[in-house]
């Protein structure tokens, strides 16, 4: 639970949190240390559809501040079970890392393009995907990460937006894989590492742990990590029912992950090219004549949205 001088302690109830905070303070005072109560934050995970009252945890008669999110070892912990805030924080940190290296590396004409790509992968991409093994990502989060990487790679490779170069071509020119493939590789490697741990290790307990109480809502509930792990195994052609036996042997698991990532990346590129080809075919098809007339002028429109926008801007109502 303790990293350097930082502690992250999960508790089930308000009484457990108060008891734990008092125990920490008592032990530290016994060794002549003092707890900085101004830096300690309390985060409440509300049950679905409920808002809990303030718990008012105190240390030395000082009430701890209750927050919705806080930073711990480079990650953003929030009261909502999503990684959106963490992804946004990682993108800002990667922007900062890229900016610090712009003059010395990425804009340095004395360095080769291969060296710049290696530095980008080693520093900027590592900053961007820090702790991505434990993220539960949605499609919008992956698109935000891929958008940042494409923007920076195009700057390094000097590819202007007027050239209409595809994302697949940019990745091929830089000889790198997509952000999604990189995240999948980190996630599977971490899952295999946890599977080989002893049963009493905390990461393995958390991976296989389940809540004793509570039910998931109907419809489209929040995505869980184990749902994403099963989906990742299916995308990489690894049997979800037997992956634990495969992961017990490190060499076998690494080969399975490597072959799965390669197959996933090839299929992703084929899907991107097919999507781009279908879009080009739709654009090349002759467009039908507009049939929706404007009642206030002779213009015709294809869709009602264009007609309503035209009326709102060109023929606003008089006041």
Give the pLDDT score at 319. Answer: 65
57 token code pair: 């945890």
The residue whose two tokens read 């390669």 is 262
Residue 120, φ and ψ in degrees, nearest 5:
-60, -45
Rounded-to-integer distance, Cα 17 and Cα 57, Å: 7
The vertex-61 CA angle with 56 and 65, nearest 5°, equals: 40
User: Mean pLDDT for each consecutive 10-residue tract of the chain (319 residues)?
Assistant: 68 86 88 84 76 79 84 80 89 95 93 95 94 91 94 94 89 93 95 93 86 76 88 93 93 95 94 92 86 90 91 84
Helices (runs of H) and strands (runs of E) counted in the chain: 12, 10
| Residue 190 CA from chain centroid, whole number | 16
Q: Which residues of 90-111 are buried (b: 16+ CB within 10 A; e: fewer)?
A: bbeebbebbeebeeebbeeeee
Q: In whole angstroms, give the CA distance from residue 169 to residue 214.
A: 47
Looking at residue 1, its pLDDT comes to 52
- Alpha-carbon distance of 150 to 167, in angstroms, equals 7
């Amino acid at each position: 639970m303790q990293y350097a001088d930082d502690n992250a302690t999960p508790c089930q109830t308000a009484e457990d949190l108060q008891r734990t905070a008092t125990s920490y303070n008592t032990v530290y005072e016994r060794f002549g240390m003092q707890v900085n109560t101004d830096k300690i934050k309390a985060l409440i995970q509300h049950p679905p559809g409920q808002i809990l009252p303030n718990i008012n945890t105190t240390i030395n008669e000082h009430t701890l501040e209750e927050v919705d999110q806080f930073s711990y070892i480079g990650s953003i912990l929030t009261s909502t079970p999503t990684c959106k805030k963490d992804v946004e924080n990682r993108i800002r940190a990667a922007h900062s890392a890229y900016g610090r290296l712009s003059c010395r590396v990425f804009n340095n004409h004395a360095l080769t393009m291969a060296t710049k790509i290696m530095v980008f992968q080693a520093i900027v991409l590592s900053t961007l995907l820090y702790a991505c093994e434990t993220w539960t990502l949605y499609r919008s989060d992956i698109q935000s990460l891929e958008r940042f990487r494409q923007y920076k790679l195009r700057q390094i490779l000097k590819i202007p937006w007027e050239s209409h170069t595809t994302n697949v071509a940019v990745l091929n020119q830089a000889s790198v894989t997509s952000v999604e493939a990189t995240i999948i590789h980190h996630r599977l490697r971490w899952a295999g590492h946890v599977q080989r741990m002893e049963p009493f290790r905390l990461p393995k307990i958390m991976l296989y742990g389940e809540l004793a109480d509570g039910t998931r809502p109907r419809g489209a509930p929040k995505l869980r990590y184990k749902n994403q792990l099963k989906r990742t195994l299916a995308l990489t052609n690894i049997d979800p029912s037997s992956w634990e036996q495969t992961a017990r042997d490190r060499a076998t698991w690494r080969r399975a992950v490597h072959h799965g990532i390669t197959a996933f990346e090839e299929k992703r590129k084929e899907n991107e090219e097919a999507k781009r080809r279908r879009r080009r075919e739709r654009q090349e098809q002759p467009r039908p004549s507009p049939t929706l007339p404007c009642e206030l002028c002779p213009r015709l429109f294809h869709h009602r949205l264009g007609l309503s926008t035209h009326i709102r801007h060109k023929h606003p109502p008089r006041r």
